[in-house]
């Protein structure tokens, strides 16, 4: 049976309703019928792959309230940006497992924040087992879209992230293609290193609307190509045959003008398809805070705007996969 297009991917589970990357966030996304879920992974002090949006965990866990960890607060430079907080690489997994998840955007998602401090931080292993169990229970293939975060940064700390990913996927029986697996990153070098190890899946290069990939900046400095250059026909020519797809900041498809009016869909999706690349889009969210100005309505940042009109531009571009924070809305709209 051909796969449904576009794939609807629960971005960190269902973070429109539950704290991102929490057990209940994934449970809800799976119950709402997503085709896949997307865990982000970072590394602990003892080499465990931890499911967190970033390695700085002050805003997504209760670590700031834990007096035994007060002395771990520090300032670091991660991918060129100075950050102050608590970092996964300074904690053993045994310590991280005692932390509880918190809503990252409590002012926008008050309902989700009502579930704060109730659920433990997860490992990649936990999410892989959860998805496998849901696939068996629901009698359908459910995939994992695994995002590798900050690979070059962790390499600088002595971790071979590709090796850690390879070992976990093999140990969890996700390396052989039995269930759909996508591996994605904003850094193409780590994608190549995982691919070389023979992990079966699709490899997808994430592109932001601005800036450059940190691995390329680390290697080439100011000569590093920008994400926008990578999304040009010439840039996509270089990706064809190297990766299986690209995943775009939705603004690259919407192409808003200076007044915030969508002029898209832009050519980038068609350009990718012409080169045999799958094209995903991130992240479809209904709240005013995340919509381009044209589609915002009254009611403040947390109110739902005219999200259907914005999502229609993305759908009509012919994308192959879409990341959503509200899986019920995504499944209903994109199917």
H/E element holding 83? strand 81-85
Q: What is the pLDDT of residues 229-255, one digit of tens each?
A: 999 999 999 999 999 999 999 999 999
- Say how many residues make up the chain: 335
Whole-number pLDDT of residue 158: 98
Question: Which of the 8 DSSP states describes residue 236?
Answer: H
From 172, 171, 148, select the one nearest 160 (Cα to Cα): 148
Whole-number pLDDT of residue 1: 35
From 256, 277, 20, 159, select the one nearest 10 (Cα to Cα): 20
From 273, 274, 270, 295, select the one nearest 284 (Cα to Cα): 295
CA distance 16 to 206: 22
Residue pair 9/30 in contact (Cβ under 8 Å)? The answer is no
Query: Does the pLDDT value for residue 215 go beyond 90?
Result: yes
pLDDT average, residue stretch 95-110 = 98
Q: For the chain, which residues make up each domain, given as ranges?
A: 7-55+122-334
pLDDT average, residue stretch 177-205 = 97
Query: Does the pLDDT value for residue 69 go beyond 60?
Result: yes
The CATH code that applies to domain 7-55+122-334 is 3.20.20.190
H/E element holding 123? strand 122-123
Q: What is the pLDDT of residues 139-179, one digit of tens each?
A: 999 999 999 999 999 999 999 999 999 999 999 999 999 99
Q: What is the pLDDT of residues 39-50, one digit of tens each?
A: 999 999 999 999
When pLDDT is cut at 50, 70 and 90, the band that residue 335 belongs to is confident
Proportion of the chain in helix, strand, coil states, percent, rounded to 5: 40, 20, 40
User: Which residue is listed with tokens 């850690």?
Assistant: 164
Whole-number pLDDT of residue 173: 96
Helices 23-31 + 124-138 axis angle, to 10: 20
H/E element holding 248? strand 245-249
3-state SS class at 208: coil
Note the pTM of the prediction, 2 decimals. 0.97
When pLDDT is cut at 50, 70 and 90, the band that residue 2 belongs to is very low
Query: Does the pLDDT value for residue 3 go beyond 60?
Result: no
Joined together, the tokens standing for residue 309 give 């009109």
Query: What average pLDDT does the structure give for the chain?
Result: 97
Q: What is the pLDDT of residues 263-314, one digit of tens each?
A: 999 999 999 999 999 999 999 999 999 999 999 999 999 999 999 999 999 9
User: Which residue is listed with tokens 């832009």?
Assistant: 266
Whole-number pLDDT of residue 62: 98
Whole-number pLDDT of residue 5: 81
């Amino acid at each position: 049976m051909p796969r449904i297009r576009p794939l609807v991917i629960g971005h960190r589970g269902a973070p429109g309703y539950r704290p991102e990357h929490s057990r209940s966030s994934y449970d809800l996304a799976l119950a709402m019928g997503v085709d896949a879920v997307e865990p982000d992974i970072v590394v602990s002090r003892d080499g465990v792959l931890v499911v967190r949006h970033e390695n700085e965990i002050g805003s997504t866990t209760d670590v700031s309230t834990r007096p035994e960890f007060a002395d771990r607060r520090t300032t670091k430079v991660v991918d060129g940006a100075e950050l102050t907080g608590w970092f996964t690489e300074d904690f053993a997994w045994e310590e991280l497992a005692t932390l509880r998840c918190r809503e990252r955007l409590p002012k926008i998602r008050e309902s989700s924040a009502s579930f704060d401090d109730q659920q433990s931080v997860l490992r990649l292993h936990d999410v892989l087992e959860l998805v496998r169990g849901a696939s068996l229970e629901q009698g359908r293939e459910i995939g994992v879209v695994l995002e590798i975060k900050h690979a070059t940064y962790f390499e600088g700390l002595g971790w071979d992230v590709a090796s850690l990913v390879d070992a976990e996927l093999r140990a969890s029986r996700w390396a052989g293609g039995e269930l759909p697996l996508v591996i994605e990153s904003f850094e193409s070098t780590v994608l190549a290193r995982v691919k070389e190890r023979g992990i079966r899946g699709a490899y997808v290069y994430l592109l932001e609307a601005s800036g450059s990939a940190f691995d390329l900046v680390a290697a080439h400095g100011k000569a590093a190509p920008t994400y926008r250059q990578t999304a040009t026909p010439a840039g996509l020519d270089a990706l064809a045959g190297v990766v299986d797809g690209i995943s775009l900041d939705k603004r690259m498809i919407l192409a808003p003008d200076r007044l915030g009016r969508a002029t898209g869909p832009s050519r980038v999706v068609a350009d990718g398809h012409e080169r045999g690349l799958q094209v995903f889009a991130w992240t479809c969210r209904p709240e005013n805070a995340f919509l381009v100005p044209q589609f915002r309505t009254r009611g403040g940042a947390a109110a739902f705007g005219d999200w259907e009109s914005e999502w229609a531009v993305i759908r009509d571009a012919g994308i192959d996969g879409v990341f959503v924070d509200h899986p019920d809305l995504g499944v209903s709209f994109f199917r």
